[in-house]
Amino acid sequence: MTTSIRMAAIGACAALALWIPAADAADAPGAKPGDASMSCEQIAAELAPYAQSMKPTLEAVASLQAQQFERGRQLYEQRKKEHEAVAAMASVGAVDPTGAAKRAAQAAAIAQAAKERRENEAEINSPLAREADAQRAQLVAQGQQMQDNARIQRLMELGKEKGCSRR
C-alpha cells in the first residue's frame, strides 16, 4: 500500500469509529444507574459490607499465623541450644586423639537432624497447621467470590477511574 492509500484507510477507519457508539458505562457488567455520579465515599460505603464479610476470616488467619510464628520461634530457640551442645561436642572431638568424641559428635549431629525432620513433619501435620491451611483456603475462596462479583468489580473500576485510592 502506498502512503496516501494508507492515510486514506486510516482516515476512513477514524471516521467510521466516530459513528460507532461506544459501550455505555451503564451497560458494563455490575453497573447500576447513577454509578457515574458516585463519589469515592459512596463507592467505599457500598464496598464496605463486602470487606466486612471477610474480616472474621482475615482475623482468624492472622491469629493462626501469629500462633505458628510463635511456635516456630520457640522451636528455633530450642534447636539453637541443641545445636550449641552438638557444636561443643564437635570441638572436643577435634582434640580427642582417640576419635571417640568425634564419632559421638557425628552421631549426635545425625540424631539431631533426624529429630528436627520428625519435628518439622509433626508441625506440618499439626492441628494448628491444618486449621491455618483451612482458614487460608476459605480466605482465597472468599476473595475469588469477590473477584467473580460483577458489582464489586464495577465499583473497583469506578474507584480507579475517579482516583479514589489516591486520596
pLDDT, tens digit (0-9, with 9 covering 90-100), for 60-117: 999 999 999 999 999 999 999 999 999 998 898 888 889 898 899 999 999 999 999 9
The residue to which cell 484507510 is assigned: 9
Task: Calculate the average pLDDT of the chain.
Answer: 84
What would the pLDDT profile of 119-156 be if each residue is shown by its tens digit? 999 999 999 999 999 999 999 999 999 999 999 999 99
**Residue at 99 is within a domain:** yes
**Residue at 48 is within a domain:** yes
Whole-structure pTM over 0.75, yes or no?
no
What would the pLDDT profile of 18-59 be if each residue is shown by its tens digit? 333 334 455 678 888 998 899 999 999 999 999 999 999 999
Q: Give one DSSP letter per residue of 140-153, joined into a string.
A: HHHHHHHHH-HHHH
Domain that holds residue 112: 39-166
**Whether 18 contacts 123, CB under 8 Å:** no
**Residue at 100 is within a domain:** yes
**Whether 34 contacts 155, CB under 8 Å:** no
**Residue at 147 is within a domain:** yes
Total domains, the chain: 1
* Angstrom distances, CA of residue 98 to CA of 89, 94, 95, 106, 110: 14, 10, 9, 14, 20
**Residue at 70 is within a domain:** yes
